[in-house]
Amino acid sequence: MNEQETDVLVVGTGIAGLSAALAADEAGADVTLATKAERPEQASTWWAQGGIAVTRDDPEQFEQDILDASAGTADPEAVEVLVENATDTVSDVLVDTLGIEFDTTGGEYDFGQEAAHDEARILHINAETGKHIHVPFLNYVADETDVTVREDTAALELIRHEGKVYGAILEQDGEWAPTYAGSTILATGGIGALYPRSTNPDTATGDGIAMAALAGADIEDMEYVQFHPTACHTESEAQGASNRSGDAAEGGTFLISEAVRGEGGLLRNGNGERFMPEYHEDAELAPRDVVARAVKTEREETGDVTLDVSGMHFEEEFPDLADKCAAHDVDWTEGIPIAPAQHFLCGGVAVDDRGRSSLDRLYAVGECSRTGVHGANRLASTSLLEGLVWGQRVGEDAVGNDIERIEAPELLERDPDLPGNFARDKFHRLRRVMDEMVGIERTTDGLKRSQSVLRRLKGEVDAYVRTRTSRSLYELRSASVVSLLISRAAAENEQSIGCHYLVEDAKPESAADAQ
Ligand code: SIN
C-alpha cells in the first residue's frame, strides 16, 4: 500500500459517512471514502429498521419530543439544527438525489409512530428502512460521484501533531500507509461489539472514538449507552442469519422495531401477563430506557418475555420481520421472545454544529460523534437523520484545507502473528464485563470493578500493539479504549438519568472479576 493524498478523508460508509462524502464531493473536493466493511451489512445503517423522523406541521413539538426523550439533557441548539434541516435534507438527498421511495398509503406518505413521539412522523420502508437507504446511497456515491471508495480498508491511527490532524494510517490486506488529508472525517459508527447482545454488526468496535481519544480529542457523554428493549433473542439459532457473526455473540439477536409496538404489539412476561402499564402510563410506548429496564426485570422475575403481535396484522404490516423470525425459527404467532440489547451510543467525539471536533481538521459525524442532539437518551428514528443532516454540514465545512505532510507514526510489525485466539478471548472477556457491570443497570461498586478489569485488559492489548500491527488487534484496542471511556464516564456520573441508571449494590462478585 502506498502513501496517498486526498482533500477530504472520510472513514466509514454508513449514512453519515456517505452524506459527508457526497457533500464534500459536490463542493468540489477530492474525496476518499475508506471503510473496513466488505459488504453493506457491515455498517449499522443497513440494520436500521424504524425509519427517519421528519418535521410535519409542528417543528416545535418535534424539538420538544427530542428534549423530553433525553430527560431535558439534549442541547436545544443542536436539536434545533436537526429539526430545522430534517425535512429539506431528507427531501433533497434521499428523495430527489437518491430516488428513495418511502412507503405511502393512498398516495400520501405512511408516517409511522414510535415511542415518545407526539405524532406519527417517521418515514419508513417496511421495517427495513436502513437497508433501502444504504444500498442506493452506496451505489450512488460509487457510480455517480468522483469519490474514491476504498473497501476492506481500516483506519488504524490518526496522523496528528500538536492539536492538528493530517490524515490517518490506513490498512488493507495486512499492509498499511499514511493517507494525508486536508480534513479527516470520522464516521465509524457505534460500539455494539462491546456487548454480548447488540443490534449492531460486529464491525461496531468504536474505532473512530478510540482514535480520536488517543489523539487527544474531547470525548463526551460516554456513559449514555442506549439499550433497545425489544431485540428478538433466541439462545440457540443459526448464526448465519444473525447480524452478529462473531463467535462471542450470545445466541442470535436481531431488532424488532419499536414500530411494532407503535402498531399495537404488547409485551407479556413469563406468566403471559401484560406488564408495561404497571411501569409507565405510556405502557409499551414509554421511553426506551424505561421499557428496557422493565423487560430486564420481568425476564429476571418471571422468565421469557415475549412480544405479542396477535392483535395486529403482523405478517402484512411487517413482512420483513416475519421473514426474519422464520429464518431464526421463531414462531411469531406464539409471541416473539425478546430481550434488551445494546443499540446506540449517545456520546462520542464532541463536535459542534458543523461536526468540528476539538482537534483542528478532525471532524466526527453519526454515531461516533456527540453533537448534543441526544443528551442522555435518544428519541427513536433520529439517528439516521442526525447522520444525514450533520453529514451534509460536515462535508461542506471540511472542504478547502490544504494537504500537509508530517512524519506519520510508525506502526510495528516485529511479530505480526497474535497468539491463537487472543482477540476472540479478550473480546469475550470485555463483553462479559460490559454486560455485567456497565450494562442497563449499574452499581457504584460494579463500575469501580469494571475499570480495574478493563484497565488490565487494555494493558495486555497495548503490550501487543507495541510490537504487532493487525486489524483485529487494533479493533480490540479500540474496544478496550472505548470500554474504559464508558466505564469511567459512568463511574463519574452519580446521577441516574436517561440511559445511565444506577442501582444499589446488591450483586455478588461476578465471575468476570476473577479473570
Ligand atoms: C427501531 O426501529 O425500533 C429503532 C429505531 C431507532 O433506534 O431509531
**pLDDT digit string (tens) for 61-114?**
999 999 999 999 999 999 999 999 999 999 999 999 999 999 999 999 999 988
In ligand 1, the atom with minimum distance to the C-alpha of 344 is 7
**pLDDT digit string (tens) for 280-300?**
999 999 888 999 999 999 999
Cα angle, residue 147 at apex, residues 14 and 85 outer, rounded to 5°: 50
Domains of the chain: 4-224+346-397 (3.50.50.60), 230-342 (3.90.700.10), 422-514 (1.20.58.100)
Distance from the alpha carbon of residue 384 to the mean position of ligand 1, in angstroms: 10
Residue (of 48, 430, 41) closest to 240 by Cα position = 41
The answer, yes or no, to whether residue 252 has pLDDT greater than 50, is: yes
**pLDDT digit string (tens) for 348-389?**
999 999 999 999 999 999 999 999 999 999 999 999 999 999
pLDDT of residue 242: 41
CA 57 to chain CA mean position, Å = 29
Average pLDDT over residues 414-433: 86
Q: Which three cell numbers stand for residue 147?
A: 469519490
**Are residues 220 and 350 in contact, defined by beta-carbon separation less than 8 angstroms?**
yes
pLDDT of residue 284: 95
Average pLDDT over residues 398-419: 86
Q: pLDDT > 70: what percent of the chain?
A: 94
The residue with greater pLDDT, 481 or 40, is 481
Backbone angles phi, psi at 290, to 5 degrees: -65, -45
pLDDT of residue 114: 87
- Which of 125, 255, 288, 307 gets mutated to test ligand 1 (max ligand atoms within 8 A of its CB)? 255
**Are residues 204 and 192 in contact, defined by beta-carbon separation less than 8 angstroms?**
yes
Q: Confidence class of residue 458 from pLDDT cuts 50, 70 and 90?
A: very high
The answer, yes or no, to whether residue 243 has pLDDT greater than 80, is: no
* 283 C-beta neighbours (distance < 10 Å), count: 18
- CA-nearest residue, atom 1 of ligand 1: 257
What residues contact residue 179 under an 8 Å CB cut-off, 6+ apart? Answer: 3, 4, 5, 6, 9, 32, 34, 167, 168, 169, 170
pLDDT of residue 511: 52
Distance from the alpha carbon of residue 35 to the mean position of ligand 1, in angstroms: 24
Q: Active-site residues: which are they?
A: 288
Tell me whether residue 428 is exposed, middle or buried, using C-beta atoms within 10 angstroms of its C-beta: 0 to 12, 13 to 18, 19 or more.
middle
In ligand 1, the atom with minimum distance to the C-alpha of 382 is 8
**Residue length of the chain:** 515
The single residue listed with the C-alpha cell 453519515 is 16
Pocket (CB within 6 angstroms of ligand 1): 49-50, 257-259, 343, 380-381, 383
Distance from the alpha carbon of residue 437 to the mean position of ligand 1, in angstroms: 25
Q: Confidence class of residue 418 from pLDDT cuts 50, 70 and 90?
A: confident
**Are residues 321 and 179 in contact, defined by beta-carbon separation less than 8 angstroms?**
no
pLDDT of residue 512: 56
Mean pLDDT of the chain: 93
- Which of 52, 132, 228 gets mutated to test ligand 1 (max ligand atoms within 8 A of its CB)? 228
**Are residues 373 and 65 in contact, defined by beta-carbon separation less than 8 angstroms?**
no
What residues contact residue 352 under an 8 Å CB cut-off, 6+ apart? Answer: none
The answer, yes or no, to whether residue 466 has pLDDT greater than 50, is: yes
Distance from the alpha carbon of residue 45 to the mean position of ligand 1, in angstroms: 11
